[in-house]
């Protein structure tokens, strides 16, 4: 397993992380014995980072991840990240709302602290009922900083979704340690501004965040399963088939290069991006984990291959 520095935090992290969300679905739909076996294999293979949230399976992901970590007695070998989602309606008393959410997460996980705590809200200049304003996101960053000083979390972070310029401002504000950014072969715009495959242009936020010293965790490198023509029963495809054409074009590239699959192409494309500390994969099965481990050992795609992916994505809107 390759390990990378998590920005300027002084912490290292495995280049591949274990996503415990609904995209993979293992930690909220899998059988307990299966969950334990797959996590045990991941830890033995050197994966250190496990990412969860209160809303993954309505708390099941945190509960099951916590149980497995206790059963395996590996808390000292793993980094746990979880999240708090606040909205504008929480702003009259954001500290109380945040602490309520976080304390519930700690109880479900069965831990006294986490390693990274993220603000998981969409950040917008003009917030709606599903987002938070940019100034209020800065307010939340200070509350997270207080939790950090109290030992509740080692690091603080935010998810780069919402208005592109708002999240880029947040990255440069110097108030967070880590950012989670969407980056995939179907929409690489957070790493290559302007190349979005007809989706939201994230304006190179990975580059901006890394240059500001933030650790970058790449979420949805397979576009939440949207690049795969066949999903595992546990998995949830958030794209509802919108990316199947992009997936087919990328699969053709993978075949031309004699890669094993579009999964290998997407994973190694993400691993090749400078500034990304950890590529988070939502594993659904032991087979997917073994494939991910094997392909990550082959390293990131060479520069010429990365450019071919960008050419293919950039020529279709």
pLDDT at 6: 98
- The position carrying tokens 């010429």 is 304
pLDDT at 222: 87
pLDDT at 263 over 60: yes
C-alpha to C-alpha distance for 158 and 178, rounded to whole angstroms: 7
pLDDT at 316 over 70: no
Nearest partner of 86 among 62, 102, 75, 72, judged by Cα: 102
User: What confidence tens digit (pLDDT) does each residue in 105-133 have?
Assistant: 999 999 999 999 999 999 999 999 889 99
**pTM, rounded to two decimals:** 0.96
Q: Which residues pair with 16 in a beta bridge?
A: 279
pLDDT at 282: 94
Share of the chain above pLDDT 90, in %: 85
Q: What is the mean pLDDT of residues 73-78?
A: 97
Q: Does domain 3-314 sit in CATH 3.40.50.300?
A: no
Per-domain boundaries in the chain? 3-314
User: What confidence tens digit (pLDDT) does each residue in 163-221 have?
Assistant: 999 999 999 998 999 999 999 999 999 999 999 998 999 999 999 999 999 999 999 99
Q: What is the mean pLDDT of residues 12-26?
A: 95
Q: What is the mean pLDDT of residues 275-302?
A: 96
Nearest partner of 281 among 17, 14, 1, judged by Cα: 17
pLDDT at 8: 96
pLDDT at 225: 74
Give the helix/strand (H/E) hosting 314.
helix 303-314
pLDDT at 317 over 70: no
pLDDT at 179: 98
pLDDT at 240: 64
Question: 316: buried, middle or exposed (CB in 10 Å: 19+, 13-18, 0-12)?
Answer: exposed
pLDDT at 241 over 70: no
């Amino acid at each position: 397993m390759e390990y990378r520095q998590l920005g300027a935090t002084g912490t290292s992290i495995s280049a591949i992380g274990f996503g415990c969300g609904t995209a993979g679905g293992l930690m909220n739909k899998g059988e307990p014995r299966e969950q334990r076996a797959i996590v045990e294999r991941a830890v033995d293979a050197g994966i250190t980072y496990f990412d969860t949230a209160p809303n993954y399976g309505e708390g099941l992901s945190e509960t099951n991840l916590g149980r497995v970590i206790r059963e395996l007695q590996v808390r000292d070998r793993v980094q746990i990240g979880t999240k708090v989602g606040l909205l504008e309606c929480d702003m009259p008393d954001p500290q109380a709302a945040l602490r309520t959410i976080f304390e519930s997460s700690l109880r479900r996980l069965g831990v006294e602290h986490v390693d990274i705590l993220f603000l998981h809200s969409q950040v917008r200049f003009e917030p709606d009922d599903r987002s938070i304003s940019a100034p209020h996101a800065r307010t939340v960053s200070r509350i997270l900083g207080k939790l950090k000083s109290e030992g509740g979390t080692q690091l603080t972070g935010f998810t780069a979704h919402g208005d592109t310029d708002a999240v880029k401002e947040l990255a440069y504000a110097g108030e967070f340690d880590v950012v989670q950014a969407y980056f995939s072969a179907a929409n690489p715009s957070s790493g290559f501004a302007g190349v979005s495959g007809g989706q939201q242009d994230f304006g190179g936020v990975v580059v901006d965040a890394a240059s500001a010293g933030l650790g970058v965790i790449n979420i949805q490198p397979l576009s939440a399963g949207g690049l795969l023509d066949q999903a595992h029963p546990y998995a949830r495809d958030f794209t509802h088939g919108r990316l199947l054409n992009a997936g087919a074009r990328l699969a053709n590239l993978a075949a031309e290069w004699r890669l094993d699959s579009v999964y290998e192409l997407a994973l190694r494309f993400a691993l090749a991006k400078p500034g990304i500390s950890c590529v988070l994969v939502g594993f659904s099965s032991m087979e997917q984990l073994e494939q991910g481990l094997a392909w990550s050992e082959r390293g990131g795609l060479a520069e010429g291959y990365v450019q071919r992916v960008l050419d293919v994505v950039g020529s279709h809107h």
